[in-house]
Amino acid sequence: MSEGNDARAAGMRVEELLAQLRARGGAEAADLAEELVTCLVRLYGAGLASIMAVIGDEDRLRARLIADPLVESLLLVHDLHPLGTEARIRRALGRLGAGTEFLGVDDAGVAHIRPGSGCGATTGIEQAVADAAPETTGVRLVPRDPPLLQIARRPAEAR
């Protein structure tokens, strides 16, 4: 794979190849190719599930696996990631820095995020959440409350 370890690029390439098969070889060839891809994905998923079962509760090994972006994305695809949705989102936002605050995921699957002060890259936040928790349905950015203006009396000697 010329794209290296980029799972997103590999997935897009698979979709391109299936579209080419459908266009050139017809629907029957494309259906067979799609079934082949599905079988391979299930096979690799079963292998990953076995690896995760062998690792069990070994936190150090699980941490090493999810530190690799490719392995982490494959665990997400197969619903094998050891961290829950909220933990993955917090972890992704922590990597962004700038004090971005995770407020939770609502019943519709929308992640509510309060961007940090000076955090202007909302697309970066949305992409980080989508990558960390593809099961979410979107991101709602909650504005920060404006700072309170403090008015105090001047000291007597300043009058």
pLDDT in tens, 111-146: 999 987 665 567 788 999 998 999 999 999 988 776
Domain around 95:
85-141
Are residues 95 and 50 part of one domain? no
The pTM of the whole model exceeds 0.85: no
3-state secondary structure of 110: strand
Contact between 86 and 104 (Cβ < 8 Å): yes
Give a yes or no: residue 153 inside a domain: no
Are residues 56 and 90 part of one domain? no
141's enclosing H/E stretch is strand 138-141
Using CA atoms, how far apart are residues 116 and 120, in angstroms rounded to an integer? 9
Q: What are phi and psi of 142, to 5 degrees?
A: -100, 125
Contact between 139 and 111 (Cβ < 8 Å): yes
Give a yes or no: residue 26 inside a domain: yes
Average pLDDT of each block of 10 consecutive residues along the chain (159 residues)?
Answer: 60 87 85 90 93 92 90 90 94 84 94 78 84 93 74 70
Could you list the beta-strand ranges (E) of 53-126. 101-105, 110-114
Give a yes or no: residue 146 inside a domain: no
Q: What are phi and psi of 145, to 5 degrees?
A: -70, 140
Are residues 137 and 99 part of one domain? yes
Go through the chain and tell me how many residues it has: 159
Are residues 102 and 57 part of one domain? no
Give a yes or no: residue 14 inside a domain: yes
Q: How many domains does the chain have?
A: 2
- Quote the pLDDT of residue 35: 92
Are residues 92 and 63 part of one domain? no
- Quote the pLDDT of residue 4: 43
Give a yes or no: residue 76 inside a domain: no
Long-range Cβ contacts of 74-77 (<8 Å, 24+ apart)? 74/7, 74/44, 74/48, 75/48, 76/134, 77/7, 77/41, 77/45
Give a yes or no: residue 133 inside a domain: yes
Domain boundary among 15, 41, 67: 67
Give a yes or no: residue 79 inside a domain: no
- Quote the pLDDT of residue 42: 93
Give a yes or no: residue 99 inside a domain: yes
Are residues 93 and 63 part of one domain? no
